[in-house]
Amino acid sequence: MPSALRDNLLAGKVAFVAGGTSGINLAIAQRFAAAGAAVAVLSRKQDKVDTATALIAQSGHPTAGFAADVRNYEAVEAALRDTAAQLGKIDIVLSGAAGNFLAPVLGMSANAFKSVMDIDLLGTFHVLRAAYAYLNLPGASLISITAGQAVNPMPGQAHVCAAKAGINMLTKVLAMEWGPMGVRVNAICPGPIAETEGMARLASTPEIESAIKSSLALRDFGTKTDIAEAALFLASESARYITGAIINVDGGMDLGDASARGFFG
């Protein structure tokens, strides 16, 4: 598709990005704006909101930012209500706020487990549920960010496995319940993405980074742009007949270890 057309895919649309002040989610918010959308972002810290909105505003399209915790339903609802009042009915909602740390179950407190469940799963529910009243219907697109741990168990990630599995099922149930009203609900499952906080924690040494890359079918980490382009597709009319899908953007990580050790050298 010619770049000029791609950069006009979301002209006249309004997008709300929860967690949109850093990492993958900021890249998505910037891509939505570059494609013509007015974009609002939500994050806990006002300074991060201010920095992100300044970056997004460079697109020349309207932007707004709100400091709120996704664990607080009333605060999330207020941000969505203010977004609709300032920018118009919302066409695109992306829920991407997340928390993570490495810890075995016996090394994790109940509060630590609950914290990730509250940010990831409950936070996603809050964003999507609260958004419904402010959607531009029919035709709205809701997108959540999940992770491979939703279907692939990983030691030290019980909290994330549980939370992301919940997001996957919430995505599918909402797609069924809200489809008749013209709402599409999908999720993106990123793989190892370079220059993110998550990969800095998981690939903490060159040796670990090399081992992860060698296990991937495409033998390399993805970029934040890769995820942003997938989100742009799902948000656009090009994906008008896609709902309830979990889109893997992971270099083939979901296929399993592709290093072929012992088979092809």
Q: Give residue-wise pLDDT tens across range 6-27.
A: 678 999 999 999 999 999 999 9
The dihedrals phi and psi of 194, each to the nearest 5 degrees, come to -65, 150
- For the chain, the distance separating the N- and C-terminal CA atoms, rounded to the nearest angstrom, is 39
Q: For all residues of the chain together, what is the average pLDDT?
A: 92
Count of alpha carbons within 13 angstroms of residue 23, beta-carbon side: 19
Strand, coil or helix: 131: helix
Q: Going from the N-terminus, what domains does the chain have, and what CATH number goes with each?
A: 3-194+223-252 (3.40.50.720)
Q: Give residue-wise pLDDT tens across range 122-148.
A: 999 999 999 999 999 999 999 999 998
Residue 265 pLDDT: 41
Q: Give residue-wise pLDDT tens across range 223-252.
A: 999 999 999 999 999 999 999 999 999 888
Flag whether pLDDT at 81 surpasses 90. Answer: yes
DSSP assigned state of 18: E
Q: Which stretches does DSSP call E strand in 78-174? A: 92-95, 141-145
**Of all helices (H) and strands (E), which one includes residue 246?**
strand 246-249
Helix and strand numbers, DSSP H then E, in the chain = 10, 7
Token pair 């949109």 is found at 20
* Stretch among 23-37, 62-76, 178-192, 198-212 having the lowest mean pLDDT: 198-212
The percent of residues above 90 in pLDDT, for the chain, comes to 76
Structure tokens at 124: 């996603």
Its sign, for the CA torsion 43, 47, 50, 51, is: negative
Helix, strand, coil fractions of the chain, as percent rounded to 5: 50, 15, 35
Q: How far apart are CA 169 and CA 68, in angstroms?
A: 25
